[in-house]
Amino acid sequence: ARLLEPPTVLEGRSIVVTAGPTREPLDPVRFLSNRSSGKMGVAIAAAAWRRGADVTLIAGPLDVATPPGLRIITVETTSQMRDAVSQALPGAAALVMAAAPADFTAALPASTKIKKADAGDALALVRTDDILATTRESRPASCVTVGFALETGDARVEARRKLVDKGLDFIVANDALEDGAGFGVDTNRVTIVHADGREEQLPLQSKTQVADQILDRVEVLLHGR
């Protein structure tokens, strides 16, 4: 069927997509992470592949199967994801950060198992690097860059702040507590907040449909660059 379709703007272009959570080790047997399944990021990577893009999927530990055809780089921690993103960026036409990197890591990861009695001191946390912010300089100037903002409550104000701070073309906001959106499920209801001020509220739909809506907008921006 693909052969009968016209080429898309993404055809033959390189796109970097991140998916899933990251894990920060606390000691040899424990880690800090979050409830991201990776479904949204994998749906975007698969949709980009169907459009003929050269896809690099940089994935933390996923709760979803990955389709064949994608170049997959598996990482565990936020700093590994940052390094993989910065390596993949040269030549990228687009970067879609659908991953939910862990925001904190152990100040001093323990090389032996932390004992209950010592937990108070052992669990000191520090912030991880912001991948979008720290890789901003290594992005090609024309790279269409998309972020996500999962909030509890009205996501639009926070989303606009993140869009500016992280230098994004648009950000896909959704409410983690809403039914049918957020973690683990196959559907999503999102608001797309654009750098030019526009906001679009999309209806509840499958993550595959949301992925195509996102890539349609990536292609519009790519077309103009």
Of 207, 203, 194, the C-alpha closest to 159 is 194
Segment 128-187, which members bind Ca ion (CB under 5 A)? none
Q: Nearest approach, Cβ of 12 to ligand CTP (angstroms)?
A: 25
Distance of CA 183 to the CA centre of its chain: 13
Q: Which does 131 bind (CB under 5 to 8 A by kind): Ca ion, ligand CTP, none?
A: ligand CTP
Within a 13 Å sphere around the CA of 136, how many CA atoms are in the beta-carbon half? 13
78 lines the binding site for ligand CTP (CB under 6 A)? yes
Q: Which region among 67-75, 93-101, 113-121, 198-206 touches ligand CTP (by CB under 6 A)?
A: 93-101
C-beta closer to ligand CTP: residue 79 or 209:
79
Task: Map tokens 């100037």 to a residue.
Answer: 141
User: Is 166 annotated among the ligand-binding residues?
Assistant: yes
162 annotated to bind ligand: yes
Asked whether position 8 contacts ligand CTP by CB under 6 A, the answer is no
Q: Which is nearer to Ca ion, 44 or 100 (CB)?
A: 100
Phi-psi region of 184 (alpha: psi -120 to 50; beta: other; left: phi over 0): left
Q: Does 170 bind ligand CTP (CB under 6 A)?
A: no
* Residue 148 annotated in ligand binding: yes
Query: Residue 104, annotated ligand binder?
Result: no
Residues in region 119-148 near ligand CTP by CB under 6 A = 128, 130-132, 147-148
Is the Cβ of residue 71 or residue 136 nearer to ligand CTP in the bound state? Answer: 136
Q: Which is nearer to Ca ion, 34 or 86 (CB)?
A: 34
| Contact flag: residue 103 with ligand CTP (CB under 6 A) | yes
Q: What residues act catalytically?
A: 34
| 103 near Ca ion, rule: CB under 5 A | yes
Segments of 10-53 assigned E as strands: 14-19, 24-27, 30-32
Go through 185-219 and write b for each residue having 16 or more CB atoms within 10 A of its CB, e for each that does not.
Answer: eebbbbbbbbeeeeeeebeebebbbbbbbbbebbb
Question: In terms of Cα–Cα distance, which of 87, 102, 96, 107 is closest to 55?
Answer: 96
For the CB of residue 150, give the shortest distance to Ca ion in the complex, in Å: 8
* Rounded alpha-carbon distances, angstroms, from residue 207 to 38, 57, 88, 95, 183: 11, 17, 25, 18, 11
Angle CA(139)–CA(136)–CA(56) in degrees, nearest 5? 50
Task: Cite the annotated binding site by residue number.
Answer: 103, 113, 148, 162, 166
Binding site for Ca ion (CB under 5 A): 103
Task: Cite the annotated binding site for CTP by residue number.
Answer: 103, 113, 148, 162, 166
